[in-house]
Amino acid sequence: MPTRKLLIATRNRGKIDEILFALRDSLFEVVGLDEVGVPSDFEVEEPAMTMEGNAIIKAMTYGRKAGCLTLAEDAGLEVDALDGRPGVLSARYGPGTDEDRYRQILSEMEAVPADKRGAQFRAVIAIYDPRTEKLRTCEGIYRGVIVLEPIGENGFGYDPIFYNVERNKTNAQMTKEEKNSVSHRGMALRKAKIILAEEFYE
């Protein structure tokens, strides 16, 4: 029997690389938006107030458009001293580049002492099958500390300012493999793999 296709519904290059790595031994044939013919100008709004809400909207909208089993993810950084900001607005927290946005966080936190610089990444994954309308979600959370100055070149987004105390390095100093073993996305994807195998494999 041919392997079932699983669409990874994101255009964020950093996420795609990490998801492909985590699903490299998947039971499914993992495909991207271009491969199922979703045009690059097809945009999905993210109006929800929660990551779960936006992950569900992305999975259902892309899944219906492509007619294919779909995994979408919404993720973000929640900083304790900023009352959980940027949170669901992480990709849109100020204009410019990823670097502009992490520098904005650093400047907002200039006066925050070392023992109050805790933060977490959260990732919510939604899996949607347009044929049966079955929908499942799962989540991963990853705690760390916001550094004073960015360190490292790997990863994407806020990785250069997110420090892992146990590993004594920022996310941006980790290989893809190491980040996958500790991160919010890695945790959510390990749960998603079980859900996919138990509930969506046929």
Catalytic positions are 74
* Least Å from the CB of residue 164 to ligand ITT: 12
Closer residue to ligand ITT in complex, CB, 26/180 = 180
- Which one of residues 91, 106, 112, 151 is an interface residue with ligand ITT (CB under 6 A)? 91
CB 81 within 8 A of CB 117: yes
Closer residue to ligand ITT in complex, CB, 18/129 = 18
Angle at 93 (CA atoms; ends 91, 97), nearest 5 degrees: 65
Query: Rounded CA gap, 88 and 68, in Å?
Result: 26
- Which one of residues 38, 164, 185, 189 is an interface residue with ligand ITT (CB under 6 A)? 185
- Which one of residues 63, 144, 157, 186 is an interface residue with ligand ITT (CB under 6 A)? 157
* Least Å from the CB of residue 15 to ligand ITT: 6
Task: Please identify which residue in the block is written with the tokens 């960015």.
Answer: 150
Residue 13: phi and psi, rounded to 5, are -60, -40
- Bond into 86 cis (ω within 30): yes
Helix, strand, or coil (residue 189): helix
Closest CA to 195 of 142, 134, 141: 134
CB 72 within 8 A of CB 132: no
For residue 163, state whether it binds ligand ITT (rule: CB under 6 A): no
Compose the 27-46 pattern: x for residues touching ligand ITT by CB under 6 A, - for all others. -------------------x
CB 49 within 8 A of CB 88: yes
For residue 98, state whether it binds ligand ITT (rule: CB under 6 A): yes
Contact stretch for ligand ITT (CB under 6 A) within 22-30, 34-42, 75-83, 105-113: 75-83
Binding site residues, ligand ITT, CB under 6 A: 10-12, 15, 46, 73-77, 90-91, 98, 121, 155-159, 171, 183, 185
